[in-house]
Structure 1
């Protein structure tokens, strides 16, 4: 009995050792992307910084590089970002200076501020730069804009790569200087400066836009980080489906010789084929013209493997993965996959639809950050003496993004017409809603009237 028990233990140990050769016992502590699970303190409470999946600059750089690779190579990831750019920015936002209510600023001052804004938009190619801002924010989770001002007060903005913002070696042990951002000792939201390429830069010269993290986290998190594993599986699934279909379709037919010897089969192949040589290899090729009819002798069968291809079995799995990624973006599936067979555009982009609500929320954040940039350009002009120092008290800046909802344009215009006739809607705001420049349109109308009178 003891011998039997001892042999059983030895057999169990041998099986366990054999199992470890195929299954890594550490895999229980890794997620399906190969990353370690977040650490937990001994008292069962989450460790410090668990709200984000990075604790060091190197970990953040690794995450950013993973998502950058997907954003550059995965066609679905590219499509998702480009659609977000199209809906959030579109052909560009409209920026208009107007006299702030409760003040008595002149129309000339309003025109001067509008000239400064138009100058800034032209110098910085703002419409293209705004598209890049959205693309960078989704890809990297953050955007750094640096201001440069010349002697005439003209402001130019340039991008700073996230990798350039890093803590110098001599400050690695200073808690308030982590991740290349120097803050107040007990307030990470009060930024004092940034370290760019090892050099300190005042916070006033930088605008930092970050996404997908809490306010007390210094750096942003890329949009596709939670679904990067899904995007990798989508790539592999598409590749495998295509390769299998390619192999199956490449083999035109398989001849089955019933009861024939190997030498007989080889002789049959030689008689039916042409011999070609490529280097040291010899290949037997048979050419069949379109519409060829094959006559099989007794004992010879033809099998066509391409007839068994059924890619639909894998398409359902692929669609499930794509829907998982689309849900992260809070976008309808067709916006992410470009497959509109199961979607209705009109019913998707209604005023109360989830996608519209999401885009509106993102547009509001974009407007807030853009307004800060516009005010920086206006105030720098004021410091150069081209505008009054209290310009912010006298003038406001209105921003109108592209419309998102699918609507009845005739009915909408009728509502605006009633509001205009009742004195609720001004012609300037009405022009802004139509994407027109009111002042320019008035000049065009005056010129048209002059030509008619002449």
Structure 2
């Protein structure tokens, strides 16, 4: 016979998990353990990751936060241009060939979509594993799931990351188990994988989800919303309470039985019982002398909105985002004043953009090296060029002032027309061809 606990639905287990208090702080104090790192085993890391994944798929405010971060960091995608390093003599034809290789790589790997997924995975899981394959002379990028990276029994590596014994930041390889049912691990060299980590020190082997610090706030918001809407539903469901005055209790019971739904039989006792449910607009009959009280009647559920907003501000503070990006309520925020050049949200998004650009350019360089080995580019050409990336502008834009500033920089010879075209999302060569055709 199954235990009673085993008969709970998955939803009931989730509600129990949401209702529990966060024990992490008290456990650390009782055990006398370190507060960093927050995970001490692969099991603890998996629990942290799974909790964040639940938020990322079920919690509306968490989903909003992750989606908005990806929207501002990636937007419609980054644009890339190539320029020679100082003192490098590269022909225009070679530069065009390099740009064609980059364009083909972006198209082959659906890079704009992958950028969005990279950012969401990084925030949700705290890390992203990208593995590289050479297929028909092209670089192909695929994901390794974080749970697939683990340490084989008896191995001295930590969390599946093989590092130099004297240098924790020098990664030599990764242990990957693709089939959880089989006890076989594959060692993958470090140059075949790019491991992006977030929210941890450089010496930490694995990343930490962005939502980890606000998981208790997210639980409280969920409970507040659930309880607030439940109370409102109760208040709205009952339309009338009929009190029958001095009528005999028996006649009231007969009336209630006649008005109640069809009797239902219990399988175990086979005794007929009547049930009166309270759907929206319910009418309730009470026997004489019965005092009717509605505890929820005096509750103004609107008062709890302020508590929810306070929790959302705490979450927004952790993410360095305006509250309206989580709640969708812009009544207490001004878009133009929030996303100004020196605003914390703009600085945070620009930092995330620069971080993504650095990681992405490393991969693009790898794609050019594959093209060199395939003979489509001159050998060693990737060492002589610089890839510049331009991300969408985060701050509120004044197009006229930006154009005037760009014109001054171009007149002074500080920026090239290619860079300016990329800044505004244009393909310089394509625009030149269209202009020449129009002439």
What TM-score range do you get, normalising by the shorter chain? 0.7 to 0.9
Match of 2:167 in 1: 187
Out of 125, 132, 135, which is 2:117 matched to? 132
Match of 1:396 in 2: 386
Out of 283, 305, 308, which is 1:315 matched to? 305
CA shift in 2, pair 1:88/1:259, >3 Å: same
Counterpart of 2:234 in 1: which secondary structure? helix
Match of 1:452 in 2: none
d(CA) in 1 for partners of 2:231 and 2:152?
51
Counterpart of 2:420 in 1: which secondary structure? helix
Match of 1:109 in 2: 94
d(CA) in 1 for partners of 2:139 and 2:313?
43
Contact 2:237 2:278 (8 Å CA) reproduced:
no
Partner deviation per Cα, 1:361-405 (whole Å, 9 max, x = no partner): 111111110111111111111122222222133211110000011
Structural RMSD (CA): 2.9
Contact 1:253 1:302 (8 Å CA) reproduced:
no
Match of 2:284 in 1: none
Give the alignment's TM-score, normalised by structure 2. 0.84
Q: CA deviation at 1:259?
A: 5.0
Match of 1:421 in 2: 411
Matches within 5 A, 1:261-340: 261-263=248-250, 265-266=252-253, 274=259, 276-280=261-265, 281-282=273-274, 308=298, 310-340=300-330
Out of 107, 110, 133, which is 1:122 matched to? 107
Contact 2:127 2:196 (8 Å CA) reproduced:
yes
Give the alignment's TM-score, normalised by structure 1. 0.81
Match of 2:69 in 1: 84
d(CA) in 2 for partners of 1:67 and 1:344?
30
Out of 349, 361, 380, which is 1:359 matched to? 349
Counterpart of 1:102 in 2: which secondary structure? coil
Counterpart of 1:249 in 2: which secondary structure? helix
d(CA) in 1 for partners of 2:121 and 2:66?
9
The runs of 5 or more residues in structure 2 that have no matched partner are: 1-19, 178-184, 266-272, 282-288
Contact 2:162 2:174 (8 Å CA) reproduced:
yes
d(CA) in 2 for partners of 1:61 and 1:287?
42
Q: CA deviation at 1:266?
A: 3.7
Counterpart of 2:175 in 1: which secondary structure? strand
Q: CA deviation at 1:283?
A: 6.0
Counterpart of 1:219 in 2: which secondary structure? coil
409-418 or 205-214: bigger deviation: 409-418
d(CA) in 1 for partners of 2:44 and 2:291?
60
Match of 1:224 in 2: 211
Matches within 5 A, 1:336-347: 336-347=326-337
Out of 395, 403, 425, which is 1:405 matched to? 395
Contact 1:254 1:305 (8 Å CA) reproduced:
no
Match of 2:233 in 1: 246
440-449 or 31-40: bigger deviation: 31-40
CA shift in 2, pair 1:275/1:397, >3 Å: closer
CA shift in 2, pair 1:276/1:143, >3 Å: closer
Match of 2:14 in 1: none
Match of 1:32 in 2: 21
Contact 1:334 1:340 (8 Å CA) reproduced:
yes
Partner deviation per Cα, 1:397-423 (whole Å, 9 max, x = no partner): 110000011121112112222333343
d(CA) in 2 for partners of 1:306 and 1:32?
25
Match of 2:370 in 1: 380
CA shift in 2, pair 1:420/1:183, >3 Å: same
Contact 1:255 1:302 (8 Å CA) reproduced:
no
Question: Does residue 444 of the first structure (1) align with residue 434 of the second (2)?
Answer: yes
71-80 or 321-330: bigger deviation: 321-330
Match of 1:235 in 2: 222
Match of 2:146 in 1: 162
Contact 1:249 1:305 (8 Å CA) reproduced:
no
Contact 1:89 1:131 (8 Å CA) reproduced:
yes
Q: CA deviation at 1:339?
A: 1.0
- Name which one, 1 or 2, has greater alpha-carbon Rg: 1
Counterpart of 1:253 in 2: which secondary structure? strand
Contact 1:136 1:142 (8 Å CA) reproduced:
yes
Contact 1:93 1:400 (8 Å CA) reproduced:
yes
How many residue pairs are counted as aligned between the two chains? 400
Q: CA deviation at 1:188?
A: 1.1
CA shift in 2, pair 1:307/1:431, >3 Å: same
Out of 322, 338, 346, which is 1:348 matched to? 338
Q: CA deviation at 1:150?
A: 2.4
Contact 2:81 2:419 (8 Å CA) reproduced:
no
Contact 2:102 2:364 (8 Å CA) reproduced:
yes
CA shift in 2, pair 1:210/1:306, >3 Å: closer
Out of 170, 173, 198, which is 1:211 matched to? 198
